[in-house]
Structure 1
Amino acid sequence: MALQIIGAGFGRTGTASLKLALEQLGFAPCYHMTEVIEQPAHIDRWMDVVAGKPDWDAIFGAYQACVDFPASSYYREIAEAYPNAKVLLSVRDPDTWFDSIYATIMSPKMVENISGTPFGELNRRTIWDKFGGRIHERAHMVECFKRHTEEVKATIDPDRLLVYEVKQGWGPLCEFLGVAVPDAAFPHVNSTEETKKILEMLFSGSGGEPTDSQRDQAVDRLYKREPDAGERH
């Protein structure tokens, strides 16, 4: 199975909703940071990427799509590895994006809780360092967001790229992918408040490493799965 869709958008641009939408459209499973949370063995695979020894098939071999960090940090390399895949750049208002990351995935408390853990090292090397480590500086991060958007548009062939906001719903996404619009509402999950609760569930304990049960419960809650439902992808 070759990757068909590459998400170039940063985390907190609707990537969890986009994952569910792509899977509903038949591009399942879709890789998201939650795959790393559920499958900690993937941390070593991403650290190989950091070391300049990527094995993309080892990461994405079972997946049809990818969105979110850490994949979006390497969209260019992944696009070169899978030249037939389409690229999806999820965006939102840059200031609102910063408000969201500062309250959730890059909050000072989150950074403190995971620092010194394997998951924290993954975040540092594949995400925080990409922003020069200045992840709590609004002006810098907003500028990085804008620059990333322009870089993707300049790098990826326009025929291969869709710049997209999840609030646009099914229409542009389905047209870009050449699939029918589903007879169902577009999924919307992972609000800022809900994400804060999920991260607290995962990373508030001593040592910063969640248990397997905490991982499963948090991911199920994020995607609004029933407690005994949902396949692990």
Structure 2
Amino acid sequence: MSKIFVIGLPRSGTTSVCAAALDLGLRTAHTAYTKACFERAELIADTPCFSHYLELAERFPEAKFVLLQRQPERWLESIQRLLQRMKTNLLSDTGGFSPLLKASYHRVFSPLNEQSLVDGKHLEYCYKRHQQQVSTYFAQQAHRLLTIDISEPHSFQQFCQFVGTNSTSKQFAHLNQHNKVMAWRDLKHPLKVPSTRDGKVDNLEAWLRGEAV
């Protein structure tokens, strides 16, 4: 099976898609910070996929990509809450989050600072820019991209068809709602792939550029 990268922005339904992938029998990671994670997982979402899809498309020429959409108003409320919780570590020059996680958010939400992460117009612009850039990049490779809103009635069937699996389920389970962001951590499943190596990470930015790590 080709790799599948979910490149919707945070708070667009990535956890729900990952949970569905597990139920479909796919080895799945929600975020990936080591080479081993990229090698083992069949489907990967969130960091660094949404920010580094260009590098991933080059490094994995057979890979498929899933772009998630969400009603901008609802996404905006959710992403603002998330960014407020992440603010201190995202904007810190030292410690906190891994360099790759920081790079991912700063790349997509640039410029990211105290003012912009609470600026609804800026964040909505970043959302629309991401959607447009992804669509433009894959315009000549339409077979590699699926764009869905997981709240839409037929999105789950479209996803199953795209990844080449079957299911008796009819829709995605909606996880991480109502300001809860720990659904993936709390989900127990034998096909979950660890994002780190016991808390340690690799220099994946260099690896994604094709450099030896």
TM-score (norm 2): 0.74
State how far apart, in whole Å, the 1-side matches of 2:14 and 2:78 are.
13
Contact (CA 8 Å) 1:87, 1:162: kept in 2 or not? yes
Check the 8 A contact 1:88/1:161 in 2, yes or no.
yes
Partner AA of 2:159 in structure 1? L
The aligned residue for residue 205 of structure 2 is none
SS of residue in 1 equivalent to 2:117: coil
Change (3 A) 1:94 1:183: closer
Distance in 1 between the 2:184 and 2:158 partners?
Answer: 30
- Indicate how the Cα distance of structure 1 residues 192 and 183 shifts in structure 2: closer, same or farther if over 3 A, else same: closer
Contact 2:76 2:124 in 1 (8 A): yes
Per-residue CA distance 1:162-184 (angstroms, 9 max, x = gap):
10111134211112223213347
Q: Is the 8 A contact 2:108 2:130 kept in 1?
A: no
Matches within 5 A, 1:1-233: 4-28=3-27, 30-33=28-31, 42=33, 45=34, 57-104=35-82, 106-107=83-84, 109-112=85-88, 115=92, 116-119=94-97, 121-131=99-109, 132-133=111-112, 134-156=116-138, 157-168=141-152, 169-183=155-169, 186-195=172-181, 198=182, 219-220=185-186, 223=187, 225=188, 233=193
1:25-65 deviation digits (Å, cap 9, x = unpaired): 1221x2213x6xxxxxx3xx5xxxxxxxxxxx444011101
CA distance in 1: counterparts of 2:144 and 2:107, whole angstroms: 28
C-alpha deviations, 1:204-228, integer Å up to 9, x for none? xxxxxxxxxxxxx9811xx3x4xxx
1:103 partner amino acid? R
Q: Deviations over 1:99-134 (max 9, x none)?
A: 101112x11x43126644241644332213432213
Conservation of the 8 A alpha-carbon contact between 1:170 and 1:181? no
Q: Structure 2: which 5+ runs fail to align?
A: 194-213
Number of matched pairs: 183
Q: Which amino acid aligns with 2:167?
A: V
Query: Given residue 105 of structure 2, which amino acid in structure 1 is its aligned partner?
Result: I
Higher relative contact order (CA 8 A, sep 6+): 2
Instruction: Specify the SS of the correspondent of 2:66.
Output: strand
CA distance in 2 between counterparts of 1:174 and 1:232 reads 18
Q: TM-score, normalization: structure 1?
A: 0.68
**SS of alignment partner, residue 75 of structure 2:** helix
SS of 1:188's partner is coil
Larger proportion of helix: 1
Deviation of 1:91 after TM superposition, in Å, equals 1.1
Q: Is the CA contact (8 Å cut-off) linking 2:26 and 2:191 kept in structure 1?
A: no
Q: What CA distance in whole angstroms lies between the structure 1 residues aligned with 2:3 and 2:107? A: 28
Partner Cα separation in structure 2 for residue 230 and residue 26 of structure 1: 10
